[in-house]
A and B are shown apart, each in its own frame.
Chain A
Amino acid sequence: MLKFDVVVVGAGGAGMMAALSASEKNNLKVAVLSKIFPTRSHTGAAQGGINAAMGYRDSTDSPEKHFRDTVKGSDFLADQDAVEFFTSGMPDMISELDYYGVPFSRDEKGQVAQRPFGGASSPRTCYSADKTGHVILHALYEQCLKNHVQFLNEWFLLSLVVEDGKFEGLVAMDIRDGKIHPIQAKSVVIASGGFGRIYWSRTTNAINMTGDGTAACFEAGIPLKDPEFIQFHPTGLAQTGVLLSEACRGEGGYLINKDGERFMARYAPEKMELGPRDLVSRSIETEIKEGRGFGEGMTSYVLMDLRHLGEKKIMERLPQVRELALEFEGVDLIKEPVPIRPSCHYTMGGIHVSDYKTCSTPIEGIHAAGECCSVSIHGANRLGGNSVADVVFFGKYAGLGAKESAMRRSFGRTEKLEQEANAWKTKFKTIREKTTGVSMFSIRNRLAETMWNYVGIFRTESEMAQALATVDELIEEYKDAYAGDASVKYNMAFINYVEIGNILKLARAVAMGALNRRESRGSHSRGDYPTRNDEQFLKHTLIYKDGENYRLEYAPVTITNYQPEERKY
């Protein structure tokens, strides 16, 4: 049986940081498992930047201000001790990344350049043109190569094995040869990214962002924290949902309605286009709803105008953005405004991390970092540039936490691991041999439509109840899902089948959390409860899975420095 001290699931920013820190200066056997080749991970898609109060561009900036902005941005649902830990550690993190070779854009003094970003009271977003995540991902991969980190590429996590509340190992498939392996480990870091694909085509997320690690933890008994908080990015391309970076607004882009108005004046008179994402997303949807958008129904949009920035600035600062608009929308934004509308962008909720310093979960030996989990530093709404920061920062601490766990723990038993692997082998065989059934892609598409229409940007009780019922039906149908590939080697149809199972599980939790949160907070916006209700809902949702049943609980929010106040921009 394969045996490692530490297994990291995921090779994005969080996973590779975790692997680097877990394997630094010791003899632990560490392996990184990733369903796609590491540099394909979605961290690479982050364009705009990474937040850290370096104070280079604005000397009055400080980790304290970053702390306050993050808490305010979270609509006071973030745990303040964790946020403070995070914001005070970020400046060092940037220097570390610089030392790893990340090619940051520079200011005139040669320091890492910083730009303004939505929801930030100072320009503190460090960046590399508009490919920040990409260069960080590649630099981390290079560091992993340098440090001989062992990768198991195109290996797929199927499930985690837990006995008596303790982690014993995991089951994974080597996609290339189709073999299913039990893997014994003392600790694991789950860093499998977000689950934006519950909205399938209406998301900025890569097609593989199906929350497999989050679903595996959920299945293993770890609750999901705050799954109802889904961020919609205001500036997805109208036709495809492909993201145009927040930097467009950061650099001064205008949002324009049908009447040619900069409509943000109505919603955030001071910050205008630089208001936080949830606010901007809702503002766009309101414009559309009230008939001031272009187009109709699902194809409605507003315009983002960058022409006033001029060709030079656009080519220098937003070259990738320009290319995206050109390739996917056929629009040259030097010459024309580009049609945009919101797209599901980020999942604030996820695996319940119970100790932010080690990123451990309620199950001994299981740690988590990155978008798959909720520490929670983003609360009800993540600020732009705070996620890549979260990913590298907590990736590091999760790696250190897993290292400690591994040094403290010994290997568990193997019986249950063998059993679990055998169960998956049987399942694989059954699905391969199945020749009829409900198309899995149809299930996936109907799930997405339901979630977009009824658990999307605006939410109401009756619609969500309906969504929940539909999701339940789809979960029933899934039992007879048909994948359509009988081969053993590289059977992506089977992988997609498992992924669809995962998004169904997670979508149900999203709908349930949303239905029960009878208030509006951050990204969770309810038509029937339009205001925040701190008295009843200043608390984290925790959803447990007991067999087929979901159980809802709540947990308190840690408040240290900032008492909740109305969020105005």
Chain B
Amino acid sequence: MEMMTVKIKRFDGRNSYYQKYEVPYEKGKTILWLLTTIREEQDPTLNFTSACRHAICGSCAVQINGNAFLACNTPLDDVLETYKTMNLTFEPLKNFEVIKDLVIVWEPKMEKMTKVKPWIIPGEEGSKEIGFLQSEEDFQQIAAPTDCILCGVCASECNQLAVNQDGYLEPFILNKAYRYIVDTRDGAPEQHLKPVLENDLWKCLHCMQCVSQCPKTIPLTDQIAFLRSATMAMGELDNQGAKHAYAFHDDVKNKGRLNETMLPIKTDGLVQTALTKIPFALRMVKKGKINPLHMPKQISGIQEVRKLYEYAEEVKS
């Protein structure tokens, strides 16, 4: 029988260590199946969270071999195949406080989210008695962002957040702000927008890690671009961040000057994306959006950077 070696990062509140489990491989299972099997058949002390087991409750996200995934809707075979290994390493999501094993705490994130007033500030046209009118097109604006299941994958992947936990907002928080800014029923979009600007909106690195891993394929970076232009429309054009961000974008695209511009970043976002965009590709392949044979293999110069941008554009569309 073929065995998988599964290493899981354990944490008991004080100490953390890696524990190894050998699990017989089975075809056609999910990552959640793997974790559940270990827990029920080998080690009932292993803790992780899950509830709906069909990608709607957002509780089961974990890191596998360095990338964040939703455990319940990620096919085990896809992961084994893409990483070309029978060895998997599980860790809790990054950029979250861990309580035990793979279990993380959400309250601090929700506390942080209140900064953007993550609730509707009802416009005057509506009332509790009759609700609102909203056109189909206007509903479409909020259809994608309200897909967010607060799973934390984007936050775990975010390269800016990794170095700027206090200053930067989690991509799902930006998404929430966006969701109310574009909601025609909201009467005070600036109240959601202002805090976004005040919290380092311009520091997004456009590394695309958040979008590439989001299990709901929410166009987070498009939204960030929108938020930026919205803040400029609000008369914030002069701010240092705006200038810097545009320079950054153009630089990278034209000259491929990666290292210089991205010096302050712990991990080099773009290169990281190129090397580890495996899961990204995985999902896109599955949905028939890209041909796996046409993927750039490694970054070695400006052509690759451009390709990466084109690729990113392609996938966004």
A-side residues, CB < 8 A to B, are 36-37, 39-42, 44-45, 92, 94-101, 103-112, 128-129, 131, 134-135, 138-139, 142-143, 145-146, 153, 176, 206-208, 240, 242-243, 320, 323-324, 326-328, 330, 441, 483-487, 489-490, 492-493
Contact between B150 and A39 (Cβ–Cβ < 8 Å)?
A: yes
Chain A residues near B106 (CB-CB < 8 A)? 37, 153
Contact status of A103 and B59, CB under 8 A, knowing A95-B128, A110-B133, A441-B40 = no
Contact between A95 and B45 (Cβ–Cβ < 8 Å)?
A: no
CA distance A104 to B132 in the complex (A): 10
CA distance A16 to B180 in the complex (A): 21
Q: How far is the CB of B98 from chain A (nearest CB, A)?
A: 11
CA distance A136 to B14 in the complex (A): 38
Beyond the given pairs A37-B106, A129-B143, A489-B13, 4 more chain A to chain B contacts, judged by CB atoms under 8 angstroms and listed by A's residue number, are: A128-B143, A327-B73, A484-B45, A487-B12
Question: 1/0 per residue B111-131: CB within 8 Å of A?
Answer: 001100111101000111111
Contact status of A490 and B40, CB under 8 A, knowing A105-B139, A142-B118, A206-B57 = no
Contact between A493 and B99 (Cβ–Cβ < 8 Å)?
A: no
Contact status of A106 and B59, CB under 8 A, knowing A98-B126, A328-B54, A489-B12 = no
> Which of A94, A145, A330 has the most B CB atoms < 10 Å from its CB?
A145
CA distance A320 to B146 in the complex (A): 13
Contact between B119 and A142 (Cβ–Cβ < 8 Å)?
A: yes
CA distance A83 to B45 in the complex (A): 46
Partner of A40, one of B13, B58, B130, B148: B58
Chain B residues near A493 (CB-CB < 8 A)? 44-45
CB-CB contacts below 8 Å: B213-242 with A: none
Chain B residues near A129 (CB-CB < 8 A)? 143
Chain B residues near A105 (CB-CB < 8 A)? 136, 139
Partner of B58, one of A39, A98, A131, A320: A39
Chain B residues near A206 (CB-CB < 8 A)? 51-53, 57
Contact between B139 and A40 (Cβ–Cβ < 8 Å)?
A: no
Whether a CB of chain A sits under 8 angstroms from the CB of B183 is yes
Name B100's closest neighbour in chain A (CB-CB): A490
Chain B residues near A328 (CB-CB < 8 A)? 30, 54, 73
CA distance A441 to B37 in the complex (A): 11
Question: 1/0 per residue B90-108: CB within 8 Å of A?
Answer: 0000000001110100110
Q: How far is the CB of A489 from chain B (nearest CB, A)?
A: 5
Contact status of A106 and B147, CB under 8 A, knowing A44-B52, A45-B54, A485-B44 = no
Contact between A44 and B56 (Cβ–Cβ < 8 Å)?
A: yes
Q: How far is the CB of A291 from chain B (nearest CB, A)?
A: 27
Contact between B53 and A242 (Cβ–Cβ < 8 Å)?
A: yes
Partner of A207, one of B50, B99, B114: B50
B-side residues, CB < 8 A to A, are 12-13, 28, 30, 40, 44-45, 47, 49-59, 73, 75, 99-101, 103, 106-107, 110, 113-114, 117-120, 122, 126-136, 138-139, 142-143, 146-150, 180, 183, 185-186, 286-287
Chain A residues near B287 (CB-CB < 8 A)? 326
Number of A-B contacts (CB under 8 A): 156
Name B288's closest neighbour in chain A (CB-CB): A332
Partner of A101, one of B52, B54, B107, B119: B119
Contact between A98 and B131 (Cβ–Cβ < 8 Å)?
A: yes
CA distance A53 to B242 in the complex (A): 50
CA distance A52 to B143 in the complex (A): 22
Chain B residues near A145 (CB-CB < 8 A)? 110, 113-114, 118-119
Contact between B53 and A207 (Cβ–Cβ < 8 Å)?
A: yes
Main secondary structure of the interface of B (DSSP, over half): loop
28 residue pairs from A and B, CB less than 8 Å apart: A40-B52, A44-B52, A44-B57, A45-B56, A95-B127, A99-B120, A99-B126, A99-B128, A99-B132, A101-B122, A101-B180, A104-B139, A106-B135, A109-B133, A129-B143, A131-B146, A142-B120, A145-B110, A145-B113, A153-B106, A207-B50, A242-B54, A323-B55, A327-B75, A330-B28, A486-B45, A489-B13, A490-B103
Contact between A92 and B129 (Cβ–Cβ < 8 Å)?
A: yes
Contact between A99 and B53 (Cβ–Cβ < 8 Å)?
A: no
Chain B residues near A485 (CB-CB < 8 A)? 44-45
Contact status of A207 and B136, CB under 8 A, knowing A39-B150, A94-B131 = no
Contact between B119 and A490 (Cβ–Cβ < 8 Å)?
A: no
Partner of B143, one of A45, A94, A103, A323: A103
CA distance A143 to B107 in the complex (A): 16
CA distance A492 to B146 in the complex (A): 31
Chain A residues near B50 (CB-CB < 8 A)? 207
Contact between B130 and A95 (Cβ–Cβ < 8 Å)?
A: yes
Which 8 A-B pairs give the minimum distances between C-beta atoms?
A: A98-B131, A101-B120, A95-B131, A484-B44, A110-B133, A142-B119, A490-B100, A206-B51
Q: How far is the CB of B84 from chain A (nearest CB, A)?
A: 21
Q: How far is the CB of B77 from chain A (nearest CB, A)?
A: 10
Q: How far is the CB of A326 from chain B (nearest CB, A)?
A: 7
Q: How far is the CB of B15 from chain A (nearest CB, A)?
A: 12
Name B141's closest neighbour in chain A (CB-CB): A103
Contact status of A131 and B51, CB under 8 A, knowing A37-B106, A99-B122, A143-B119 = no
CA distance A100 to B185 in the complex (A): 10
CA distance A206 to B146 in the complex (A): 21
Contact between B131 and A36 (Cβ–Cβ < 8 Å)?
A: no
Chain B residues near A326 (CB-CB < 8 A)? 286-287
Contact between B56 and A128 (Cβ–Cβ < 8 Å)?
A: no
CA distance A358 to B54 in the complex (A): 34
Q: How far is the CB of A536 from chain B (nearest CB, A)?
A: 40
Name A237's closest neighbour in chain B (CB-CB): B54
Contact status of A99 and B127, CB under 8 A, knowing A135-B146, A142-B120, A490-B100 = yes
Chain A residues near B147 (CB-CB < 8 A)? 131
